[in-house]
């Protein structure tokens, strides 16, 4: 019996900000059995893939191609012929210098069904995030996207400079840092004024976005002084001048901050979302995968004997009550006082209709049950020291997702982290357990700011010899953002 062919989606991932992917592109990622992805896509997009999805890195770096184009084409065909849904995930728009035509032709020749899904291209998105619309009734009625390097022997773009200067008012050159002197010289030689405004935008739409503004005469030297490298967009035109009036992204409270948030759970982090919304780049470390654990039915049948129940995370709360429901245990069987390790855990308990308290308020007397994932077994000696004799109830089995290790390593290579954020005391232990896999042991000494969300977290960090530089007044998102925003001058951002 012949295997049914799969399908290939050639998807534009957008310019960097993960929220800029199209709805159709995101749906393709969720359906994918295999994703071949490039260097410049936001890795958070891969988190939307299902657990069994295979990731293949196709990224290219200057002077170093990870996978040759013909190999990528062959993989698309091979995986689709295995009956799989294959997504080729490309930065920006796949049709803008993305070689999508070659890939589409390759799968088409093998009779494989495919779709091309547009994406937001960086030549438009990066200028907008720098406060510049590429067209404006008073400045520019035409716009061109131009490659800044090509397949000529010297790599310099072979284009109609005279036609470009005569007919286009705003020009976006892609990946043009290396040839910047050449580009500016040709534009001036073919009629552009040396005083024409120019801006270089590096890592456009990311929190690490960096902009350098000048003119055709001055921008090469300014870019060199600012050490601008690719990925970067060079925008040329009078419309650049309005940037000062409508710049918005670079005015966000946490713009420029690069934060590592230590994660202890698998659910989406609202804290990470808020930090990104305020302009920060956030690397969530580590990535977790979760499986159901064997249920200790004896414990839940006798849940009423416990006078105190301590939940180690919000996920443990939701998993615990789901287990009770699955085993038809009435929540009114809970006789003990409920506690949480963090304010987030307290909110999860309150959402279930229970009054609860932080662990710092827990009394010594009374039979104690600690509820959490399989990590609490490893930490049992520590809990015994802190709280005395206790029983454990494991809600799930959680392990670091090795599928994301290579992705995480590439994120760390390109980031310049300035902040290490511990949102809970448990996160300190998680970081120490996982850091060695990524060579991050020295991060606590080299990063400018270690931030602990509360006093218990700070005490845990200090117990392991980690100095906390900052702590918000309250363990809330609002207080944390105020704490981080207030140090902009200190951080020289």
Q: Residues with catalytic annotation?
A: 38, 60, 175
> Which of 14, 5, 45, 8 lies closest to 29 in space, CA to CA?
45
3-state helix, strand, coil split of the chain in percent (to 5) is: 40, 20, 40
Calpha distance 363→441 (Å, rounded): 36
Side-chain half-sphere of 174: how many Cα atoms within 13 Å?
17
Task: Please give the span between the terminal C-alpha atoms of the chain, in angstroms, as a whole number.
Answer: 62
Q: Crossing angle of helices 425-434/455-463, nearest 10°?
A: 30
At 59, list the tokens. 């990224």
For 43-133, where are the alpha helices, taking DSSP H only? 69-81, 100-109, 122-129
483-488 CB contacts, 8 Å cutoff, 24+ apart: 483/451, 484/253, 484/254, 484/257, 484/259, 484/275, 484/280, 484/419, 484/451, 485/253, 485/254, 485/278, 487/449, 488/256
Calpha distance 300→305 (Å, rounded): 10
Q: Is the dihedral of CA 153, 156, 161, 163 positive or negative?
A: positive
Backbone angles phi, psi at 235, to 5 degrees: -110, 125
- How many angstroms separate the Cα of 9 from the Cα of each of 6, 32, 64, 356? 10, 9, 26, 48
């Amino acid at each position: 019996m012949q295997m049914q062919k799969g399908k290939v989606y050639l998807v534009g991932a957008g310019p960097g900000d993960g929220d800029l992917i199209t709805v159709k592109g995101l749906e393709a990622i969720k359906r994918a059995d295999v994703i071949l992805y490039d260097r410049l896509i936001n890795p958070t997009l891969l988190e939307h893939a299902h657990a069994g999805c295979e990731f293949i890195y196709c990224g290219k770096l200057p002077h170093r191609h990870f996978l040759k184009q013909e190999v990528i084409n062959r993989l698309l065909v091979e995986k689709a012929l295995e009956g799989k849904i294959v997504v080729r995930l490309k930065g920006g728009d796949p049709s803008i210098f993305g070689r999508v035509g070659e890939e589409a032709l390759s799968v088409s020749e093998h009779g494989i069904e495919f779709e091309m899904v547009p994406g937001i291209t960086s030549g438009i998105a990066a200028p907008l995030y720098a406060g510049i619309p590429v067209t404006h009734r008073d400045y520019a009625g035409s716009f061109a996207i131009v490659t800044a390097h090509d397949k000529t022997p010297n790599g310099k773009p072979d284009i109609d400079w005279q036609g470009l200067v005569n007919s286009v008012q705003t020009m976006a050159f892609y990946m043009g840092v290396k040839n910047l002197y050449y580009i500016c010289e040709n534009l001036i030689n073919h009629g552009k004024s040396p005083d024409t405004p120019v801006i270089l935008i590096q890592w456009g739409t990311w929190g690490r976005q960096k902009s350098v503004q000048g003119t055709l005469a001055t921008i090469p030297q300014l870019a060199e002084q600012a050490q601008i490298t690719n990925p970067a967009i060079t925008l040329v035109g009078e419309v650049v001048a309005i940037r000062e009036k409508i710049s918005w992204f670079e005015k966000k409270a946490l713009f420029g901050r690069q934060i590592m948030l230590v994660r202890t759970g698998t659910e989406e982090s609202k804290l990470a979302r808020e930090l990104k919304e305020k302009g920060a780049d956030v690397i969530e470390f580590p990535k977790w995968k979760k499986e159901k654990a064997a249920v200790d039915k004896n414990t839940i049948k006798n849940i009423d004997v416990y006078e105190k129940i301590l939940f180690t995370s919000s996920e443990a709360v939701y998993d615990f009550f789901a287990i009770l429901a699955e085993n038809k245990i009435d929540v009114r069987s809970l006789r003990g006082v409920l506690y949480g390790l963090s304010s987030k855990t307290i909110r999860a308990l309150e959402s279930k209709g229970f009054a609860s308290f932080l662990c710092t308020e827990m009394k010594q007397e009374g039979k104690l049950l600690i509820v959490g994932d399989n990590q609490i077994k490893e930490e049992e000696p520590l809990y015994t020291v802190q709280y005395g004799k206790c029983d454990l109830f494991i809600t799930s089995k959680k392990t670091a997702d090795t599928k994301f290790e290579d992705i995480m390593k590439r994120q760390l290579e390109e980031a310049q982290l300035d902040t290490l954020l511990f949102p809970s005391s448990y996160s300190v232990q998680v970081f120490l357990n996982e850091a060695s896999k990524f060579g991050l042991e020295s991060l606590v000494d080299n990063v400018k700011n270690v931030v602990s969300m509360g006093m218990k977290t700070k005490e845990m960090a200090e117990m392991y010899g980690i100095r906390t530089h900052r702590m918000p007044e309250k363990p809330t998102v609002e207080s944390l953002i105020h704490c981080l925003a207030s140090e902009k001058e200190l951080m020289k951002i």
